[in-house]
Structure 1
Amino acid sequence: MRKIIFSICFFLFNLIYSQLTYTVCDSDDDGIYNFSISDREKIVKLYQFDYQEEAEIYITVNRGGILKVKNLESTTPSIEFVCAATVTEPTFFEIAVNSKKEMFVTNAARIIYKVDSVSCEKTAMSTVADHDIQALSFDRLDNLYKSDGTSLVSRASANDFDNFIPWHDFGSGFPSGDFVMVDDKMYISWAYNRFGGLNDLFEVTVDDNFNYISHVNLGAIRDDTWGLASEYGKLYGVTYAELYEINPKNLSTKTILTNPRIFPNAAWWGAAGK
């Protein structure tokens, strides 16, 4: 069996699965540990225990409410409608889910609502925008990020959505697809035209408190990517017509599900991982 230097392997394991601990012993003090089949099985059980829920993504639908894509990693993902559109609330724009799995949306009135995913009852949290909110996401500390359709991204602290302060101004263009974390990087779908078209993927380096440090433009992703979501370490994009997976390392993409309904009233917009 291939030998792995114990100190490096142990560090990487705890870095990736910070809530889990698996201890091994270097019995002969040579700095090397041979991982056995038994070790592998125990690690897999730990992983499955921590991530036993199915990967799912919420999507807002133009005049169609909110849906959830289930069985995301299977060959046959399915769609479940969570909250249908109503006469009084015909349109949800953006959607975000925090670490407590609480769901938040924005609407044409430029209000952020908390939505009960069972009853669909809405609670207004704040009116925070002079323009339609084009992107909305939480980081891992439950800080809430938004863009009002300019190059400036603002952030509010968890549970204080009345006080958004500037986070970073990217200079030109505007976020069209959220501010989602995959591993230690934040990803944003960036647009240049309000009427759709080209989208680039920005990779943002942040510090431990998710303050902006720097960013790079990785290049073009699929046109009209108006939503981004992360789920179990994978990055997904949403266009009007499809949900697709993005590999940030090489920008390769894979269609997960196509929109089965009719345009334009059923176009897909915002996205959030559960």
Structure 2
Amino acid sequence: MNKRIFSLLLILVLTVSVFAGCSQKPAENNEPKEPSNPPAAENQEPAAEKVDAVEVKKVFVSPQWVKSVIDGQQKESSDYIILEASWGTANESPDYNTGHIPGAVHADISSIEGEPYWNIKTSEEVEKAMLDLGITKDKVVILYGADVSGTARVAYAYLWAGVENVKILDGGLNSWTKEGYELETAANNPKAAAEFGAKVPVHPEYWTSIEDAAKRLNEDENFRLVSIRSYVEFNGETSGYTYIDKAGEPKGAVWGKAGSDPYHMEDYTH
């Protein structure tokens, strides 16, 4: 064969081989690849939000903190009770039967205060009311209710009696439901306690009599008797209550504001 023709044929073969090599696809890897960002599993619950602990002496707490107690995330989770505080029985409560915080027990406000002026009851009566609810000095008590002033009076009575850790849900049931937390309607019955664990009241200094207040007003220039009633009650225009005839304040009292009537505290809430 003519060398020239052979050379041309060789060049042609090499050229075809090069193009064939360039066009050949690399071997495919049939092994499945893991996605760099795997999709979240369906119906996966979000991770529980970490909620900081609160001091024992801090009374008003957030719904997130209460939920964390229920979920076992706080030291208080080992021994606590949640109380829906309102006047009368559970059936008379504005909220309890229609929906309450899971595990909550109804507490009758009249168990710690009585007629005619709704002052705190005797130490024996308050102690019995607490024991009936299973409350001891070491049990953590978390309160909420439609009437914040009534709820606060129950908290005060328990602190006066000697419960060491009393909390109030800031914002009441509304703050709980706004966070999307669930409610239940089944009634919860408390297990009574046999002993409170201390002589009631542990803190008699939390209460003062009219006579003691009058004496200190006259003798102690650093003492202040502060009225947290409405202004029309403070200046004597009305007693504020249908069952109280007398109006006015003890001589020497100063006005500390609070709300527009005995049942509101808008000067201190939002």
TM-score range, shorter chain: under 0.3
The TM-score with structure 2 as length reference comes to 0.24
TM-score normalised to the size of structure 1? 0.24
Q: Which has the higher strand share?
A: 1
The structure having more radius of gyration, on CA atoms, is 2
